[in-house]
C-alpha cells in the first residue's frame, strides 16, 4: 500500500469505524459501484486496487464518464467497503476534478500548436497523483519538483546578481534551464546569454504577442500568470510554445461521484 493511501486510511479510520462495527456483521459480504453523478473525466482508478480486494474497472483514467455511468465495481466484506468508501471517494472526486479541468484547458487550445503545462501548485503530499490526473486530462506535466529542472525566477536572478550570472551558473548543473524575464531588458539579456527557454509572466495576450515576435524563435516561450479557461486560448494564439496554469491543480473542484453498496447473500 502506498504511503499516501495508508495515511488517508489512518486519518479516517483511526482506531476503528465504530458505526460499521456496531451495525454490520463481520462476515457479511458486499459489492459496491462507483457512479458518476455528472459528466467528468475520471482519474485515480489505480488507487482502488489498494483499497479493495476485488476491483472491476469500467473506465480508464482519462476517459469521459456521463451522469449515471458506472466507473468501477468493488467487492469484499461489507465492513471493508464501508470503511474505505470515503477515502476512495475523496481520491476519485479530487483527481477526477483535476483531470476534468485539465481536459477543458487542453480542448481550449486545440489547433493552436501551443501546449498547456501544469505547475507545482498542488496539494501537499498529492503531487504525483495530481500530476498524473492532469496528464490523464490531456495537459503536459511541467517539472515534478525542484530537483528535476532549473527554473530561474526573479528572486533567483536577484540572488545571483543578474540574468546572465544566473544562466551561466545554472549551466554547470547539467539540467534543462528555463528563466523568467520581467522586462524587455531582461529578455534581451537572457537571449544574449543563450537562454533556450523563457518564462514570460503576467503579460496581457497583446503584450505577450509582441514579446514573442521579438523572440522570433530564438528560444521556446512559456506564458504564465493568472491564465484561466476564459483567457487561455488568447494566450495560446500569441505564438507561445506553452501556457502554464496553476488553476488545473489548485482550483479544480471535486467531481460528483457516489458509491452504492449491495449485500451479497
Predicted confidence (pLDDT) per residue in 90-135, tens digit: 999 999 999 999 999 999 999 999 999 999 999 999 999 999 999 9
For 138-164, write each residue's pLDDT tens digit: 999 999 999 999 999 999 999 999 999
* Helices 78-108 + 127-137 axis angle, to 10: 50
Radius of gyration of the chain from its Cα atoms, rounded to whole angstroms: 23
Is residue 152 classed as helix, strand or coil in its secondary structure?
strand
* Sequence spans of domains, the chain: 3-105+253-264, 106-250
Residue 13 has pLDDT above 90, yes or no: yes
Q: Fold identical between 3-105+253-264 and 106-250?
A: no
Please identify every residue annotated as catalytic.
Answer: 86, 121, 153, 180, 201
With contact defined as beta carbons under 8 Å apart, do 44 and 63 qualify? no
Fold of 3-105+253-264: Aldehyde Oxidoreductase; domain 3 (3.90.1170)
Write out the three cell numbers for 6.
495508508
Identify whether the C-beta of residue 54 lies closer than 8 Å to the C-beta of residue 74. Answer: yes
Average model confidence (pLDDT) for the chain? 97
Q: What CATH architecture applies to the domain 106-250?
A: Alpha-Beta Barrel (3.20)
Amino acid at each position: 500500500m502506498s504511503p499516501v493511501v495508508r495515511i488517508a486510511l489512518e486519518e479516517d479510520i483511526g482506531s476503528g469505524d465504530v458505526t460499521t462495527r456496531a451495525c454490520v456483521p463481520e462476515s457479511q459480504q458486499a459489492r459496491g459501484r462507483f457512479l458518476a453523478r455528472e459528466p467528468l473525466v475520471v482519474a485515480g482508478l489505480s488507487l482502488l486496487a489498494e483499497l479493495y480486494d476485488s476491483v472491476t474497472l469500467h473506465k480508464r483514467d482519462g476517459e469521459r464518464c456521463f451522469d449515471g455511468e458506472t466507473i468501477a465495481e468493488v467487492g469484499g466484506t461489507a465492513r471493508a467497503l464501508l470503511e474505505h468508501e470515503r477515502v476512495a471517494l475523496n481520491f476519485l472526486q479530487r483527481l477526477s476534478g483535476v483531470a476534468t479541468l485539465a481536459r477543458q484547458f487542453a480542448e481550449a487550445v486545440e489547433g493552436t500548436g501551443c501546449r498547456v503545462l501544469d505547475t507545482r501548485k498542488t496539494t501537499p503530499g498529492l503531487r504525483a497523483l495530481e500530476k498524473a490526473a492532469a496528464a490523464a486530462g490531456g495537459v503536459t506535466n511541467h517539472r515534478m519538483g525542484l530537483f528535476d529542472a532549473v527554473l530561474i525566477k526573479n528572486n533567483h536572478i536577484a540572488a545571483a546578481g543578474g540574468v546572465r550570472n544566473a544562466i551561466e551558473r545554472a549551466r554547470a548543473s547539467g539540467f534543462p534551464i528555463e528563466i523568467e524575464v520581467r522586462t524587455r531588458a531582461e529578455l534581451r539579456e537572457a537571449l544574449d546569454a543563450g537562454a533556450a527557454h523563457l518564462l514570460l509572466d503576467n503579460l496581457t495576450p497583446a503584450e505577450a504577442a509582441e514579446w514573442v515576435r521579438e523572440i522570433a524563435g530564438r528560444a521556446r516561450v512559456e506564458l504564465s500568470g493568472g491564465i484561466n479557461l476564459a483567457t487561455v486560448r488568447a494566450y495560446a494564439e500569441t505564438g507561445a510554445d506553452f501556457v502554464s496554469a496553476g488553476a488545473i491543480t489548485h482550483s479544480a473542484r471535486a467531481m460528483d461521484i457516489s458509491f452504492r453498496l449491495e449485500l451479497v447473500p
